[in-house]
Amino acid sequence: MARIEVPMPQMGESIAEGTVSKWLKQVGDPVEKDEPILEISTDKVDAEIPAPESGTLVEVRIQEGETVEIGTVMAYIDTEAGAAITSGVAEADAPADIADDSDGGSDGQANQTVSQSSLSATAEVQVRTRSTPVVRRIAEEHGISIADVSGTGYAGRVTKQDMLDFIENGATEATTAATGQPARTTPAFSGSSSDLWAAFYGEVQHPEFPVRKGDHVEPMDKIRRLTAEHMVLAKRVASHVHSFIEIDFSRVDHIRAAHKGQWAEQGVRVSYTAFVVWACSRLLRGYPAINGTVSGNHIIHRGSVNLGIAVDLDPGLIVPVIHDTDELSLMGIGKKIIDLAGRARSRKLIPVEIQGATFSITNPGVLGTLVGMPIIPLGTAAILGTGAIEKRPVVVEDPLTGTDAIAIRKRAHFSLAYDHRLVDGADAARFLAELKALLEDFPEDA
């Protein structure tokens, strides 16, 4: 029997677990490679999970409604035709049949007992070493072999807490002495999930407060809990600094009015946000630090420009990502924003559409906020906050006479939050100044 695993996939950078919503295939059913076999749900996305290979679904380990960590094995597929079907929980992956060349005497029984014992030990190690990505990264960072750790998880698997307990009890020093290799004490940032950050920098502990008469207490739902953890960790890791600028949208208004009919004929509405996204995507190539991130003692300069656009789910928040944004036209970006925002609110995004952002934009101004000071998402170096675009009296210079006058213009305050470990204030100021110039003199053919 050639069995392969079907694990709970990584569905987003801040998602640490998922729930099996529905099995589309049952034990014994044949499956084709890339054919959906189950549906899973997280706090941000719902998705169908395809079969990694063709074969027969021979075991289901996680039932509908169960929530498990990323990397947990949910099922097994036998890639060989005519394989036996496993209806329950299988024993550790040991072979079902053991060849016996003896004549049935006591020596043969002894040899079989030894062989079974050896296989059982091997299978136990295999189960322990097949762990979640979080566990494997902790082991790698601290120079620990997962096989040396006693597992308390399902079927003896090693959990994150097992690893942390093992480290706390002095295993790192023991491993260092045995291997001669120093254990790493500073984790390399992978940006995979808030759960990984918590493993290295400590679990997020929210202080508790007394409940008073008349208060109503309810547990955080999953999306609020994960958002809270992500925000606390993001503030803990990055050195936040904010810079502000005011931008005139008169030119953008002119272009929107001139092309509104043409865009409507093609079924597209190009919002103010689309103009901002287009302008940022054209500038970020020239600001690799703002489009990069700090990783341990290294700097990663991203090879693409992928803009995350925050979408209000009321309640909750999700950040769909427009990949290779700098390759899209203004109208193309407008289409993308409408499509992603609509599918975000109906929970129809696929995993890749919420991963890989190199820079983010959040728009509290759409609800009337004058300006905001956003938190930098983990794994990036900056985020732009756009304030309300509204008519204001401003001083302008008459181009003919050179005299000053009071005029009414549509303007907005923008804030740039940036990680001061990587981005200097001067670079942030230059970026905002170029963004202002580009939006105030927006090209007609964008």
Domain boundary among 201, 227, 253: 201
Q: Tell me, yes or no, whether 377 lies in a domain.
A: yes
Q: Tell me, yes or no, whether 104 lies in a domain.
A: no
Q: Tell me, yes or no, whether 206 lies in a domain.
A: no
Cα separation, 325 vs 340, in Å, equals 13
Q: Tell me, yes or no, whether 231 lies in a domain.
A: no
Question: Could you tell me the two tokens for 375?
Answer: 């938190």
Q: Tell me, yes or no, whether 95 lies in a domain.
A: no
Domain boundary among 35, 55, 90: 90
Question: Could you tell me the two tokens for 32?
Answer: 């084709």
How much is the pLDDT for 37? 92
Domain boundary among 90, 125, 145: 90
Q: Tell me, yes or no, whether 77 lies in a domain.
A: yes
How much is the pLDDT for 17? 78
Domain shared by 415 and 337, yes or no: yes
Domain shared by 163 and 62, yes or no: no
Domain shared by 154 and 83, yes or no: no
* Pairing verdict, β 3-7 and 311-312: unpaired
CA–CA–CA angle 180, 163, 357 (5° rounding)? 100
Domain shared by 168 and 316, yes or no: no
Q: Tell me, yes or no, whether 99 lies in a domain.
A: no
How much is the pLDDT for 82? 45
Q: One of 298, 404, 424, 427 is an active-site residue; which one?
A: 424
Q: What is the dihedral of CA 307, 312, 318, 323, to 10 degrees?
A: -20
**Domain containing 70: what range?**
3-90
Structural domain count, the chain: 3
Domain shared by 291 and 417, yes or no: yes
* Residue 259 C-beta-side C-alpha neighbours within 13 Å: 20
Q: One of 206, 254, 301, 420 is an active-site residue; which one?
A: 420
Domain shared by 277 and 168, yes or no: no
Domain shared by 72 and 13, yes or no: yes
How much is the pLDDT for 44? 65
| Pure H helices in 312-382 | 330-345
Burial of 4 (0-12, 13-18, 19+ CB in 10 A): middle
Domain shared by 78 and 151, yes or no: no
Domain shared by 276 and 364, yes or no: yes
Q: Are 218 and 38 in contact (CB under 8 A)?
A: no
Active site residue 312: no
How much is the pLDDT for 194? 47
Q: Tell me, yes or no, whether 39 lies in a domain.
A: yes
Give the domain CATH number at 405: 3.30.559.10
pLDDT of the chain, 446 residues: tens digit per residue: 688 999 988 766 556 778 888 899 999 999 998 888 998 887 666 788 889 899 999 999 999 888 888 889 999 999 875 444 443 444 333 333 333 333 444 444 444 444 444 434 444 444 444 455 567 767 776 778 887 787 766 446 677 777 777 876 654 444 444 445 444 444 444 444 445 555 545 566 788 899 999 999 998 887 788 788 888 889 999 999 999 999 999 999 999 999 999 999 998 889 999 999 999 999 999 999 999 999 988 999 999 999 999 999 887 888 999 999 999 999 999 999 999 999 998 888 888 899 899 999 999 999 999 999 999 999 999 999 999 999 999 998 888 888 999 999 999 999 999 999 999 999 999 999 999 999 999 998 88
Domain shared by 47 and 166, yes or no: no
Give the domain CATH number at 86: 2.40.50.100
Domain shared by 188 and 256, yes or no: no
pTM of structure: 0.64
Q: Are 374 and 362 in contact (CB under 8 A)?
A: yes
Active site residue 413: no
Domain shared by 315 and 369, yes or no: yes
